[in-house]
Amino acid sequence: CIAKSCSSSEGIRHRRVVCFDRNSIVQDDLCDEKLKPIEEELCTTNISCLTWFIGEWSTCSVTCGQGIQQRKVYCNDPLRSTSILSDNECQSILGKNSKPIEQQYCSITKCPYWEMSLWSNCSGKCGLAKRDRRIWCVHNGYEVDENYCLRMYNETPSTREICNEKIYCPNWIVGLWSECSVTCDIGIQNRSVLCKNKDEIV
């Protein structure tokens, strides 16, 4: 039985009808046309209409960078009252690996990011020396308003930092106390206290 379509269980079946005389096939006009049996008739079929229902992809989960899209995929048979069937039913007819993917990666555009210049030379007095750099927001190769980056990262990289480690600060060099000037009562002790700047005493 050949179904008219997968959405219907009704089909048509055919057979060959010939004029026969003395064990031989002869021309049809030798037989009575009115008595000729039918050559086709309606029939019902149990043809499988199982198929995968595939929904539309969702929007990308992110507005920039790599995200995920999802869609509904389930086994379906329009001839049954139950529209959603188990995956095993479709896989048994259509193949184990026949189910289309339900999730995929997506990317709309690259995300904005902070670009930074090199730090400037350290400058300033000892204890107050600083260095600076410039930062800017880049998107698709162009400098854009920094709010684009702020929405992504919620913070701005520092544009200034203390750099005292590169500027030598003078410091005191303190010697040991001498012996007391007297053996009893109140005396005096001395020690050397020098100001050193790098390798020089100032």
pLDDT band at 73 (very low <50, low <70, confident <90, very high): very high
Domain boundary among 62, 79, 107: 107
Could you tell me if 117 and 103 lie in one domain? no
Lowest mean pLDDT among 8-12, 24-28, 95-99, 139-143: 8-12
% of the chain exceeding 70 in pLDDT: 86
Task: Read off the pLDDT of residues 112-147 as tens digits, 9 standing for 90 and up.
Answer: 999 999 999 888 777 678 899 999 999 988 999 999
Residues 92 and 130 in one domain: no
The reply to whether 120 and 157 lie within a common domain is: yes
Same structural domain for residues 162 and 176?
no
Q: From CA 73, how far away is CA 78, in angstroms rounded?
A: 15
Number of helices (H), then strands (E), in the chain? 2, 17
Q: Are residues 94 and 55 in the same domain?
A: yes
| Single pTM value for the model | 0.46
In a shared domain, residues 182 and 196? yes
Does 92 share its domain with 71? yes
- Structural domain total, the chain: 4
90 and 122 fall within a common domain: no
Please report, for the domain that includes residue 59, its CATH number: 2.20.100
Last residue of a domain, one of 81, 107, 133: 107
Judge if 185 and 153 occupy the same domain: no
How far, in Å, CA of 198 to CA of 193, rounded? 16
Q: For residue 6, what pLDDT is reported?
A: 55
Compute the average pLDDT of residues 177-185. Answer: 86
Q: In the listed set 92, 107, 122, which residue is the last one of a domain according to the structure? A: 107
Residues 162 and 175 reside in one and the same domain: no
Is 26 in the same domain as 12?
A: yes
Report the pLDDT value the prediction gives residue 138, as an integer from 0 to 100: 94
Contacts 24+ apart (CB under 8 A), 148-156: 148/112, 149/112, 149/113, 149/114, 152/64, 152/111, 152/112, 152/113, 153/114, 156/114
Q: Which domain holds residue 9?
A: 2-44
State whether 65 and 97 are in the same domain.
Answer: yes
